[in-house]
């Protein structure tokens, strides 16, 4: 490879990862670097790979290609593939807790050399955990997935300039414990028969198929069910969001738009909180008024979560990666061995070589 030219592997296991990493790919290719994709498991659809993109199909191919860095929008990556391992996260911290009461977002998983955090709200805790473990570094870069949202808006298939009604986006997490989708279904069915709003429905790809099918059955002139691997245009098309605890609400808030949160345990002042289906319509009307105090609270929250809204996070992620590639990781402690995890990864990938 020529001086400065790098090889980056994008290691993904979910369809939403395409949209998270493609802004990184765009910047990498413009710089003259090489990018390859590796798809793990059955939950990521290879049909989303573009004709211009290169995919490596086996671990042996990855090892022969010898990536300098491996970017992962997930929690796990095998230790036995080359390159420094970089966590770029698959979403924001939505405050979900493990059953033992600890925050599920903050965990050093002994897979990564570098965590690229989104803003002060996550940088502080990850820096503390990284210093405590000594096995990884942390750099606050912003989230690459949002770069297109902060750049000039593209043609948007979900917008309808001729329809002057407010557009409501309903999103919900897949976790049955936190999801509002089933609880509010009948109320959404009733509201979607009115002509007061234009509804867009978009769910996490792991959502129960029965729930998806129920909402698809509601499609009419007022409601559209959206299936996509790129949620940004959907977020840009809506005026207000109805959600529960899904981290996609944070992406929506970062546009300076209000969110009505159903059964959200945080009781945060940057959300319009409701706990009963009968409150949905009134809460949407309140949110669409954009009261000053609510909007100020949204801005304060967004500054903590993701202050870098210049569309250049991908560049910062690559700079942080390149810096670690050049300096090396010899100053980091050896990562704890997790034989059970390593065995499961090898079994899943059907790879038993050293």
Show Cβ contacts of residue 251 under 8 Å, excluding neighbours closer than 6 positions. Answer: 92, 145, 146, 149, 231, 232, 235
269, two tokens:
């002042």
CATH number given to 7-148+311-349: 3.40.50
- Range name among 29-33, 147-151, 218-222, 340-344 with the lowest pLDDT average: 340-344
203, two tokens:
């769910």
Q: What pLDDT shows up at residue 94?
A: 57
Digit-coded pLDDT (tens) for 117-152: 999 999 999 999 999 999 999 999 999 999 999 987
Instruction: Check if the beta carbon of residue 200 is closer than 8 Å to that of residue 192.
Output: no
> Cα angle vertex 328, ends 324, 329, to 5°?
95
**How many whole angstroms separate alpha carbon 146 and alpha carbon 206?**
21
* Residue 105: pLDDT band with limits 50, 70, 90: low
Which phi-psi region, left, alpha or beta, contains residue 290 (left: φ > 0; alpha: ψ -120 to 50)? left
Digit-coded pLDDT (tens) for 280-314: 999 999 999 999 999 999 999 999 999 999 999 99
CATH architecture designation of domain 157-305: 3-Layer(aba) Sandwich (3.40)
3-class state of residue 194 by DSSP: coil
pTM: 0.85
Residue ranges, comma separated, of all CATH 3.40.50.2000 domains in the chain are 157-305
- How many CB atoms sit inside 10 A of residue 330's CB? 5
Query: Strand 198-203 relative to strand 114-117: parallel, antiparallel, unpaired?
Result: unpaired
Q: Distances from the Cα of 221 to the Cαs of 193, 195, 218, 259, in angstroms?
A: 9, 9, 10, 23
Q: Which residue has the higher pLDDT, 68 or 344?
A: 68
**How many whole angstroms separate alpha carbon 187 and alpha carbon 332?**
53
């Amino acid at each position: 490879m020529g001086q400065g030219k790098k090889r980056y592997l994008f290691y993904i296991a979910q369809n939403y990862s395409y949209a998270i990493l493609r802004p990184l790919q765009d910047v990498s290719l413009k710089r003259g670097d090489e990018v390859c994709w590796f798809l793990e498991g059955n939950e990521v659809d290879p049909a989303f790979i573009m004709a211009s993109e290169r995919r490596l199909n086996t671990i042996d191919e990855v090892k022969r290609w010898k990536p300098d860095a491996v970017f992962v929008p997930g929690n796990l990556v095998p230790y036995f593939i080359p390159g420094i391992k970089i966590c770029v996260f698959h979403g924001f911290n939505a405050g979900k807790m493990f059953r033992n009461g600890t925050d599920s977002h903050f965990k050093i998983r002994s897979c990564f050399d570098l965590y690229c955090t989104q803003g002060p709200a996550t940088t502080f805790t990850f820096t503390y955990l990284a210093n405590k473990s000594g096995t990884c570094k942390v750099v606050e870069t912003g989230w690459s997935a949002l770069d297109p949202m902060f750049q000039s808006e593209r043609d948007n298939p979900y917008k309808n300039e001729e329809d002057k009604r407010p557009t409501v986006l309903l999103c919900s997490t897949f976790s049955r414990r936190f999801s509002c989708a089933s609880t509010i279904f009948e109320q959404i069915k009733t509201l979607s028969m009115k002509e007061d709003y234009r509804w867009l429905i978009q769910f996490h790809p792991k959502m129960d198929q029965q729930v998806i099918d129920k909402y698809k059955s509601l499609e009419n002139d007022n409601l559209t069910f959206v299936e996509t691997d790129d949620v940004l245009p959907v977020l840009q098309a809506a005026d207000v969001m109805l959600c529960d605890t899904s981290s996609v609400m944070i992406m929506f808030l970062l546009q300076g738009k209000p969110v009505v949160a159903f059964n959200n345990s945080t009781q945060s002042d940057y959300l319009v909180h409701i706990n009963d289906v009968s409150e949905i319509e009134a809460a949407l009307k309140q949110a669409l008024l954009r009261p000053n105090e609510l909007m100020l609270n949204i801005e304060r929250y967004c500054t903590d979560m993701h202050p870098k809204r210049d569309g250049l996070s991908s560049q910062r992620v690559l700079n942080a990666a390149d810096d670690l590639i050049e300096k090396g990781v010899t100053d980091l402690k050896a990562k704890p061995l997790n034989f059970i995890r390593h065995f499961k990864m090898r079994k899943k990938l059907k790879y038993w070589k050293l």
